Amino acid sequence: MLRIAAMFMIILYHIIIHCVKPQLTDRGSMERLGNGLFNNPVFYKKLLLLDIMDTFGIIGNVIFILISGYFMCEKGKNINITKISKKLLCQLGFASVVLTIASAVCFRMGGGNTFLNLVNIQVFNSMSWFAGYYYLVILIAVLFLNGFLEKSDNRGYITFLIVVFALTQFGWTGTLADGLMPKLRILLNGVFLYALGGYLKKYEPLSKLRTYVFLLAIIITYFFVVLSAYNNTKNNIENYIRSKTEDIFIQSVSEFPNYSIIVIIIGVCLFEIFRRIKVPQNKFVNYIGSATFMVYLLHDNGFFYSIWDTQDWITLLYNNPYRFILKVSIWSSGVFACGTVVYTFYIILAKVFNKYKWILFKKHNI
């Protein structure tokens, strides 16, 4: 259930950052759609929706790493990294083929409309950065992290978590880490979240807190998200007025890195809330949950971005924020459904291949 919720949040987030925000801030997009409705030095409460939704995708990333650490940290070296590698690569390859074919077919069916961003097979090596990030965190866990954490007592485990967390949170050490290796700060954050997931499973440090505490923490955290958005907008307005420019005013929308303390707090709270939900096993929910990686691969690319960009999101947000929320939710649900259907075809083809692979491979007599 939490995987499904996290993936839905990620889709919402991608629609916001790859479509809605560009329509709000990109001059070319404004000219094409004629929707520069927010281009005034005014604080619009409606735009707070974008600041809030801008946290969703990063929270989803936090949740996925926490889940992996929760279930895999205790396995030590008994993680089949070969199986994980094959699973990720096969789904990545299948998604690349589907996107290459589907984008060309949609382009032809649409009479060659140029709004579509067609995909080529080289997307296999370039799409969905999270796949490589996730894989490297799991590989580190298999090679040494799980073994190290298994040998650590409670105090040693906490020390490790605090030290790694501090390295990612201090601005100077984070910048130093990225200077040593690009994106190292994000990788360290992934290691921290994975280890934290294992710690939550092993020691249950949050079990004494009541559920409403986590709900309250989420509300308070989002209060600061909203307040920060207000402060940023007011600063932007003051700078615009002081510059005495005749150019149009461009609104600002918050951005949150993967190591942001804001998204980590919300992600951990949501994780703990879902962990306490007691429901029986459901094969349908489990199946949808297993499709989330394919959903991620299928939608996070220029083809889907260009489809979303056919809609005028800014005018809708300006005129009716409630309809905006409804529409972006419906589109996200549709994307999720498409990814699940593609995953179903992937499973069917995999079963067919396993059944008839004798056609391609010779039998060896031993």
The residue type of 142 is V
pLDDT category of residue 186 using cuts at 50, 70 and 90: very high
Q: In angstroms, rounded to a whole number, what is the distance separating the alpha carbons of residues 224 and 138?
A: 33
Q: Which pLDDT score is estimated for 18? A: 93
What are 209-255's pLDDT values in tens digits?
A: 999 999 999 999 999 999 999 999 999 999 999 998 888 899 988 88
The tokens describing 282, both together, are: 């459901």
Question: For the range 85-94, what are the long-range contacts, defined as Cβ-Cβ under 8 Å and sequence gap of 24 or more?
Answer: 85/135, 88/131, 88/134, 88/135, 88/293, 90/346, 90/350, 91/293, 91/294, 91/297, 91/343, 91/346, 92/124, 92/127, 92/128, 92/131, 92/297, 93/124, 94/294, 94/342, 94/346, 94/349
* Torsion of Cα atoms, 49 then 53 then 55 then 56, to 10°: 160
Of the candidates 301, 321, 233, the one whose C-alpha atom is nearest the C-alpha of residue 313 is: 321
* C-alpha count within 13 angstroms, C-beta hemisphere, residue 157: 23
Q: CB neighbours (10 Å) of residue 317?
A: 25
Amino acid at site 218: I
Distance, in Å, from the CA atom of 177 to the CA atom of 186, rounded to the nearest integer, reads: 9
Three-state secondary-structure class, residue 256: coil
* pLDDT for res 75: 87
N- to C-terminal Cα separation, the chain: 47
For range 143-170, the mean pLDDT: 95
Which of 164, 173, 266, 177 lies closest to 221, judged by CA?
A: 266
Q: Which residues of 129-143 are buried (b: 16+ CB within 10 A; e: fewer)?
A: ebbebbeebbeebbe
Q: Quote the mean pLDDT of the chain.
A: 92
For position 109, what pLDDT does the model report? 84
Global pTM?
0.94
HSE of 114 in the Cβ direction (CA atoms, 13 Å)?
A: 0
Phi, psi at 226, each rounded to 5°: -65, -45
Single-letter amino acid, residue 44: Y
13 neighbors 335 (Cβ within 8 angstroms): no
Closest CA to 199 of 145, 280, 274: 145
Residue 365 pLDDT > 80:
no
